[in-house]
Structure 1
């Protein structure tokens, strides 16, 4: 069993090395054409989903329990047992698989390459009612009203934004008082570790391949210092390539 686990870790790391190699070969195109970066990132996520989606499911389910016990501030939604949720950067809609209640749903995402597959995924989850897709970035959600959402959901987002602090400020703005930010983020390995050095070395290329994703970002620290009234955060390690294993997840209260 240990030998099989070791072989799987080696395989995972070889896949990451191949992704980086392809990224280096395509570097001039990716630097010149932003749409090419979006196109490649979507394909990398398809591969990652095929290889490692199940590895995240236990963490997703645990994170999503914070959605199950919250009551909406909207009387009509509360009477219906529903909540209003904004997800920032939903990708293909992986979080729908662990949503167990009625949801009025918004998505903010700048990458329109996801939209077709996202909408196809949405059809499989009748409890999730799409209210609006907002094309845009988490740092500036001016199209999204203040104090409007019971829950804001972010997974694997803060690693790739230009300014995590601005994104979290916007999340607080759009949440109702007492609303929750649910999060799951991969974070930097501990300071002084070989893993952190490897993250630091790979990040310049990885950022270009994966639309800004920084392997060495301490997103947990950003959440703790974002001004939420409460932060409930757990740390875990996920069975994915070594540069991405360390995760924090949980919820923060506005």
Structure 2
């Protein structure tokens, strides 16, 4: 099995050799940062349509974590185009963080379409280093389709716990590796190196639930599901929330 995966990876590598060369020259990263927001704008429309019921279920109790004032202070890490805005409760104060500044214009459009929110500001930063956000300053942190591409899941989850107030919650929805001994797992292993380059550092093979279990939250509500998506490779999902 390992030899077959290795041989097929080589074959895929040959087919995608121009991209590897561009990456070696340092050009591909620049191209990817420019085109990825346009891809995500299209992708998240489809994703929200397919995952509408699960997202509504996931975010249904957000307001339960509002502070004494009754207003929910929410930080979205890896906000992308603002695809989650429609699921947040009225009056929610939203701050967004993303390492790609090219998402900002898409965020502005999403803010204009979601007047029920109180948008605070957009911070260009990686989730592993959110020093612009004070300790214990937010009620909720949201992270969807992000843990697949961060450099360190452990560091980003440490930062999440730092910025959350005591009793605050971290909400997540992520695609993960498939069960072993399935064809989906096999093809995830084969295609992951090329997928990583094509989709801005996204990994198909992460066991993100393990990082969440080790993160030190006081309570973890986590479910696995096969998402109703057209691409088999990203159907295995986890979703839920964790309380600090």
Write out aligned runs for 1:1-254 (5 A).
25-31=18-24, 32-33=26-27, 34-72=29-67, 75=68, 78=69, 81-240=70-229, 241-254=231-244
CA distance in 2: counterparts of 1:172 and 1:184, whole angstroms: 17
Q: Displacement, 1:129? A: 1.4
Deviations 1:27-52 (A, max 9, x none): 43345222212123223323423544
> Is contact 1:203-1:214 (8 Å) kept?
yes
> Is contact 1:207-1:213 (8 Å) kept?
yes
For residue 179 of structure 1, give the secondary structure of its aligned residue in structure 2: strand
Deviations 1:209-233 (A, max 9, x none): 1111101101111111110000001
Q: What is the match of residue 7 of structure 2?
A: none
- CA gap of 1:201–1:180, structure 2 versus 1, over 3 A, is same
- CA gap of 1:189–1:102, structure 2 versus 1, over 3 A, is same
CA distance in 1: counterparts of 2:180 and 2:172, whole angstroms: 22
Deviations 1:73-107 (A, max 9, x none): xx4xx2xx311000001111010121133211111
For residue 73 of structure 2, give the secondary structure of its aligned residue in structure 1: strand
> TM-score if structure 1 supplies the norm length?
0.84
Unmatched runs of 5 consecutive residues or more in structure 1: 1-19
CA distance in 1: counterparts of 2:95 and 2:175, whole angstroms: 23
CA RMSD of aligned residues (A): 1.9
- CA gap of 1:187–1:69, structure 2 versus 1, over 3 A, is same
- CA gap of 1:140–1:38, structure 2 versus 1, over 3 A, is same
Q: Structure 1 segments of 4 or more deviating over 4 A? A: 20-25
Number of residue pairs aligned between Structure 1 and Structure 2:
229
- The one of the two structures with greater contact order (alpha-carbon pairs below 8 A, sep at least 6) is 1
For residue 94 of structure 1, give the secondary structure of its aligned residue in structure 2: coil
